[in-house]
Amino acid sequence: MSQFAPLRLAVKALDIAASHLPARLVRAPASDTGATLSPLLHWMFHLRHLKNGSANLGAATPAQARRQLRADVLPLSRGYAVREVRELTIPGPAGALQARHYRPAAAGELPVLLVFLHGGGWVTGDLDTHDDVCRLLCREAGMQVLAVDYRLAPEHPFPAPVDDAEAAVRWAQENAARFGVAPTAIAVGGDSAGGNLATVTAQRLAATGSALLAQLLIYPATDFSTPRDSQRRFGTGFILSQADRDWFEHHYLGGNADLKRHVQASPLLNAQPGVLAPALVVTSGFDILRDEGEAYAQHLQATGTLVEHVRCEHLGHGFINLAGAHRDSELATIRIARQWRRLCNRALALGTTAAVAPATETVKGDAKPAAAKKARAAAPKKAKATPAPNAAGNSQPAAATGAVKPKRVKKSTSA
């Protein structure tokens, strides 16, 4: 048993207890849509404040912030089982980059390699802080994942992390045969700052005519330049504060205000990104990055890119790192992984330029897949989808794919 197992089990017990308490005792905040923050996430913010003396980074050095993230995340990690995990070293533009390769159960494995870029504000985060995330995506999406440890600011400020991300994806394309996939079956994804790097990488590759299969963008940062309503609503009292974001921005952009409008720092400002690889954009109901992530989803859709958007209404920033101890976060991450598999399966069957109904939905953190179901059901079956492995590693049916005339799907909230 891991040395952290007792703490993780204690947090899980607290999560169960919180779910049975009356709302008047939990006193969790409500969002502008009327959704209530998951009680455990509300309490964890205050526990973090008590533990660290402050809930925000404040005067912390980058080294202190990195240690704090590891101390916050690693004790809650579960170590989800996958078939194989191995350490790799891949070439980067300024030297070797550490990487970690995950392979799922053989039954129902999709011939796709997801290059995953971890979050952490371009300053913190590493292969270990996002090990659980990659394991769960690998297991539930039934595809290989290659996590990349790119260089961090302030030692390596913008655009060094972007350069590393692009180099990693291009290496994966050039070495696709080593992973048993086609060069056109390489996808890119990430969360938060990693989501930002994934968007910029997709735009860079598209500009040079290099095709990606798909993009997985989990609460991505997309615009440094424009204050939005979610920043005002959720700027204090939550895991990621506006003060934290300003701290990350200062280290990443080196205090250069002009870089806020650089399209490779704020990809939402790229007015002509072209038609990019199909994207699954995930946002959280209680997150300062919510509005810019959703604005980017709309921007991609307006430029002709296939976009599926999911908002996890009752969750906050960083929830995928809490899956090992928080049931709502785990269920939401599993749901995201399975929807991501369906999108990749569709892209494989139809090609990335196929016309598929863009989908927008709003869901609870613990909701089962429901929204956009009508649009998928209306699509004619053209190829049988590869079954997705369930939690036990067995195969289960996945949605069939097919092309339909693009149309807007109304937002809905699943129970």
CB count in 10 Å sphere of residue 408: 11
- Token pair belonging to 189: 């994804």
Q: State the catalytic residues.
A: 192, 287, 317
d(CA 57, CA 75): 20
Q: Are 119 and 318 in contact (CB under 8 A)?
A: yes
d(CA 306, CA 233): 30
Interacting residues of 117 by C-beta distance below 8 A, sequence separation 6+:
147, 148, 150, 165, 168, 188, 189, 190, 193, 194, 195, 197, 198, 201
d(CA 222, CA 230): 13
Element (H, E) at 141: helix 131-141
Q: Are 398 and 376 in contact (CB under 8 A)?
A: no
Q: What is the CA radius of gyration of the chain?
A: 20
Q: Are 309 and 109 in contact (CB under 8 A)?
A: no
The helix, strand and coil proportions of the chain, stated in percent and rounded to the nearest 5, come to 40, 15, 40
- Token pair belonging to 224: 């440094």
Q: Are 169 and 205 in contact (CB under 8 A)?
A: yes
CB count in 10 Å sphere of residue 156: 16
DSSP letter for each residue of 283-333: EEEE-TTHHHHHHHHHHHHHTT--EEEEEEEEEETTGGGGTTT-HHHHHHH
d(CA 352, CA 278): 7
Residues for the chain: how many in total?
415
CB crowding 22-31: b at 16 or more within 10 Å, else e: eeeebebbeb
